[in-house]
């Protein structure tokens, strides 16, 4: 029948993990737009223990993926997704200013790793129980550090996710 011919259209792929690569929007800035740069945030400088003068976090969206993991979007801005037994995905955007510099840096880090690769990094349990301590899989900071320690997927790889893209940008502000 004629109705069978209409049923052959492919089903659109749906991302049920709510993954996002949104890094923010700059509107009507008197300074222009962020521009690509080869410079990067000096993370060694950020490791120096100094008091944090400004920090806040707001969870915009959180879902437990029908008890199959977690997907969180929070304003820091960081996107973290865990699908149990399958994959982890991180998209982290940092805006950084160093006193004495005349620009802001926006650095976007994207990583996607197999679940098994992150589980290998879990610390072992204490005492007789030497199984991995999976409680860290629920800690976004621990997972972000574990994922960031993994090498980025090569964009030229035919198996690489289109999600994976690191970039650094500068905005001159004075």
Mean pLDDT over 145-169 rounds to 58
pLDDT value for 158: 39
Q: In Å, what is the CA distance from 40 to each residue of 3, 43, 148, 157? A: 56, 9, 15, 24
User: Quick one: which of 24, 4, 43, 31 has its CA closest to 108?
Assistant: 24
pLDDT digit string, tens, across residues 3-53: 444 555 555 576 677 777 777 777 888 888 888 888 888 878 878 887 766
pLDDT in tens, 135-147: 888 887 888 888 8
Task: Report the distance separating Cα 168 and Cα 171, nearest Å.
Answer: 11
Task: State if pTM tops 0.95.
Answer: no
Instruction: Kindly report which listed range (67-81, 82-96, 112-126) carries the lowest average pLDDT score.
Output: 67-81
Boundaries of every domain in the chain: 13-172
Q: What is the pLDDT of residues 52-83, one digit of tens each?
A: 666 677 888 888 888 888 888 777 656 677 77
Q: Judge contact between 106 and 95, C-beta under 8 A.
A: yes
Say what the pLDDT of residue 20 is: 73
**For the sheet containing 87-96, what is the strand order?**
35-36, 167-172, 103-114, 87-96, 78-83, 69-75, 58-63
Model confidence pLDDT, tens digit, residues 11-24: 557 667 777 777 77
């Amino acid at each position: 029948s004629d109705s069978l011919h209409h049923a052959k259209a492919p089903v659109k792929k749906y991302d049920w993990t709510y993954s996002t690569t949104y890094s923010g929007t700059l509107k009507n800035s008197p300074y222009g737009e962020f521009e690509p740069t080869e410079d990067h945030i000096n993370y060694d400088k950020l490791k120096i223990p100094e008091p944090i003068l400004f920090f806040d976090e707001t969870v915009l969206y959180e879902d437990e993926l029908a008890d199959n993991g977690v997907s969180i979007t929070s304003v820091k801005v960081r996107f973290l997704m865990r699908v149990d037994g399958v994959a982890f995905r991180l998209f982290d955007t940092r805006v950084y200013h160093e006193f004495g510099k005349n620009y802001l840096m926006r650095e976007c880090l994207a990583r996607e790793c197999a679940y098994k690769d992150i589980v290998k990094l879990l610390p072992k349990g204490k005492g007789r129980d030497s199984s991995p301590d999976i409680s860290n899989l629920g800690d976004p900071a621990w997972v972000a550090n574990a994922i960031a320690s993994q090498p980025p997927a090569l964009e030229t790889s035919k198996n690489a996710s289109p999600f994976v893209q690191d970039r650094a940008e500068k905005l001159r502000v004075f």
